[in-house]
Amino acid sequence: MSTALLQLDWVDRFLQLPEAYYTRVRPEPLSAPRMVHFNTELAGQIGLSAADTQDPELLALLSGNASRPGDKAIATVYAGHQFGHFVPQLGDGRALLLGQLRNPQGDLFELQLKGAGRTPYSRFADGRAVLRSSIREYLCSEAMQALGIPTTRALALVASPDPVQRETLETAAVVCRVAPSFVRFGHFEYFFYLHQHERLAPLADHVIDGHFAHLAARPDKYAAWLGEIVERTARLMARWQTVGFCHGVMNTDNFSILGLTIDYGPYGFLDGFQSGHICNHSDEAGRYAYDQQPRIGYWNCSRLLQATLPLLHETPETAVEIAQGILARYPGAYADAVLEGWRAKLGLLDTRDGDRDLINAFLNILDRGANDFTRCFRGLAAVRCDATIAPPIRDEITDVAAFDAWLQDYRARLQAEDSDDPARAVRMNAVNPKYVLRNHLAQTAIELSEHGEDTEVDCLMQVLSRPFDEQPERERYAAPPPPQAAHIAVSCSS
């Protein structure tokens, strides 16, 4: 194999760790692989030219039908709290780390194949991912990237006619995911609960040296590093809340040590706003409902701190005190980030006392009418300080009387800071997306690709790569879901 991908600067930092952290694996081949989509923009970032991406050998590598020389691929081991219950061993059950490379600018990228077959951590499952869930992961990770929300990314999506049994018989696919690191909270939990506490520091150093180099020389580097993770996680939750993103499975094994959105399964963007919305049909109790996400982010950080106590101090009581101090940074970091996010969505420049109430009042109006979250925020950009001009979005709001009353307060608030209508509209349109990956849009692309027609995946990639821009020829992608879309159910089955 001579594909340009193999000629890049592979540094494979994870292989420098002892084998207690992973197992070497080989991908299981797929028959008749077809490239559903290739992300040329991301390929360029990792150091591939447009010509390189035409190489047929690239498809073999990205489908798992060929391996890097020297058996470099690994599956890593982790544990995790799933729906609140500790599971002592999970791990990359259907993902393998192809390796880690450094681009000419010095940035690190890990490449992972998700769905490339069984590993020692597959437990009872088949190591595969179906085309349906792979398209959802591929599209959403790039949609989140374009929204400016920290996320793992996707380089390639390969499909195969090979059958995969879920509730119905589906077909297989492999997503090549890309991130600086795929280390999860659960990696640390694995060694903590196994009482292999001496394994925590090498893993923490691996993460710090690669991704938190500014902390590496500090005597309190572990506390400083955990503090950054807690704050990143809090800020990530604020980003999810203010864009209406529901993750669906916020288990600690699905939480990134870099504060990235990771593992797109039964996620969803809010259509009609309901604060208690549960996007995952497998989540009967609503543990991961939209309005629970910030609290769960905090709880997950507490699980990470529990698992890293031995890094903080040799005396357990002192370690707990330090951990509590670190965890205490979450509520403030979240509150600041989320308020800043909501204020930006309303186009406010100054900070005033009543801002939080103003935001909550608007959310309550949407909640009562299950009005479309994305469209209603986007529509606020058309509000004028002049009370005689009604914004067109008014027609979509169920409780018009409440909205009119709210508009009076909003306009008064805008006038209090001498808000300039056109300038505010520009600011608001840069933070309130017009286009998000609604479930029904993904579903249309899935159904077409299941019949071998991949153009809709490409079309969605293009629309969602510019979520804040008006794209007049693609107006229908900004519409609320059609009534027949109500049947779309997403669950843990993937």
Distance set, CA 223 to CA 241, 320, 322 (Å): 27, 12, 8
Give the integer Cα–Cα distance in Å for 190 and 208: 18
Residue closer to ligand AMP by CB (options 25, 464) is: 25
Stretch that binds ligand AMP, among 22-30, 63-71, 124-132, 324-332 (CB under 6 A): 124-132
Mark 224-250 as b/e (b = at least 16 C-beta within 10 Å).
Answer: bbbbbbbbbbbbbbbbbbbbbbbbbbb
Give the integer Cα–Cα distance in Å for 446 and 453: 9
Residue closer to ligand AMP by CB (options 173, 243) is: 173
Give the integer Cα–Cα distance in Å for 397 and 405: 13
Q: What's the closest the beta carbon of residue 3 comes to Mg ion, in angstroms?
A: 29
Bridge partners, residue 175, by sequence: 114, 157
Beta strands at 129-130 and 169-179: parallel, antiparallel or unpaired:
antiparallel
Helices within 64-167 (DSSP H only): 131-147
Contact yes or no for 119/28 (Cβ under 8 A) = no
Looking at residue 81, its amino acid is: H
127 binds ligand AMP (CB under 6 A): yes
Q: 323-332 long-range contacts, Cβ below 8 Å, gap at least 24?
A: 323/226, 326/223, 326/226, 326/227, 326/230, 327/230, 327/298, 327/301, 327/302, 329/227, 329/230, 329/231, 329/234, 330/230, 330/231, 330/233, 330/234, 330/297, 330/298, 330/301, 331/234, 331/298
Residues 240-279, one symbol each (x = binds ligand AMP by CB under 6 A, - = not), give ---------x----x--------x-x--------------
User: Residues 471, 474, 476, 480: is their CA dihedral positive or negative?
Assistant: negative
Number of residues that bind ligand AMP (CB under 6 A): 16
Tokens 């609503």 sit on residue: 286
The residue number whose beta carbon is nearest to ligand AMP equals 93
Q: What's the closest the beta carbon of residue 249 comes to Mg ion, in angstroms?
A: 7
Stretch that binds ligand AMP, among 85-93, 324-332, 387-395, 464-472 (CB under 6 A): 85-93
Question: Which listed residue (10, 15, 97, 128) binds ligand AMP by CB under 6 A?
Answer: 128
Alpha-carbon torsion, ordered 54, 146, 240, 184, to 10 deg? 40
Question: Which listed residue (122, 275, 302, 444) binds ligand AMP by CB under 6 A?
Answer: 122
188 binds, among Mg ion, ligand AMP, none (CB under 5 to 8 A by kind): none
Question: Which listed residue (37, 94, 277, 438) binds ligand AMP by CB under 6 A?
Answer: 94
Residue closer to ligand AMP by CB (options 27, 127) is: 127
Select from 8, 63, 76 the least CA-distant residue to 32: 63
Question: Which listed residue (57, 126, 420, 450) binds ligand AMP by CB under 6 A?
Answer: 126
93 binds, among ligand AMP, Mg ion, none (CB under 5 to 8 A by kind): ligand AMP
Give the integer Cα–Cα distance in Å for 414 and 410: 6
The residue number whose beta carbon is nearest to Mg ion equals 263
Stretch that binds ligand AMP, among 84-92, 268-276, 296-304, 320-328 (CB under 6 A): 84-92
Stretch that binds ligand AMP, among 20-28, 119-127, 140-148, 236-244 (CB under 6 A): 119-127
Q: What's the closest the beta carbon of residue 127 comes to ligand AMP, in angstroms?
A: 4
Catalytic entry in 71, 162, 253, 291: 253
Stretch that binds Mg ion, among 109-117, 153-161, 165-173, 254-262 (CB under 5 A): 254-262
Residues 34-73, one symbol each (x = binds ligand AMP by CB under 6 A, - = not), give ----------------------------------------
Residue closer to Mg ion by CB (options 137, 263) is: 263
The DSSP result for 431-447, as a single string, is TS-S----HHHHHHHHH
Looking at residue 370, its amino acid is: A
Stretch that binds ligand AMP, among 125-133, 372-380, 408-416, 424-432 (CB under 6 A): 125-133
Give the integer Cα–Cα distance in Å for 178 and 390: 45
Question: Which listed residue (1, 125, 389, 412) binds ligand AMP by CB under 6 A?
Answer: 125
406 CB-contact burial (10 Å; exposed 0-12 / middle 13-18 / buried 19+):
middle
Select from 90, 140, 115 the least CA-distant residue to 29: 115
90 binds ligand AMP (CB under 6 A): yes
253 is catalytic: yes
Q: What's the closest the beta carbon of residue 129 comes to ligand AMP, in angstroms?
A: 7
27 binds ligand AMP (CB under 6 A): no
Question: Which listed residue (110, 228, 263, 454) binds Mg ion by CB under 5 A?
Answer: 263
Q: What's the closest the beta carbon of residue 148 comes to Mg ion, in angstroms?
A: 23
30 binds, among ligand AMP, Mg ion, none (CB under 5 to 8 A by kind): none
Residue closer to ligand AMP by CB (options 90, 346) is: 90
Mapped onto helix, strand or coil, the DSSP state of residue 297 is helix
Mapped onto helix, strand or coil, the DSSP state of residue 393 is helix
Q: What's the closest the beta carbon of residue 327 comes to ligand AMP, in angstroms?
A: 24
Stretch that binds ligand AMP, among 52-60, 88-96, 240-248, 312-320 (CB under 6 A): 88-96
The catalytic site residues sit at 253
Interacting residues with ligand AMP (CB under 6 A): 90-94, 121-122, 125-128, 249, 254, 263, 265, 492
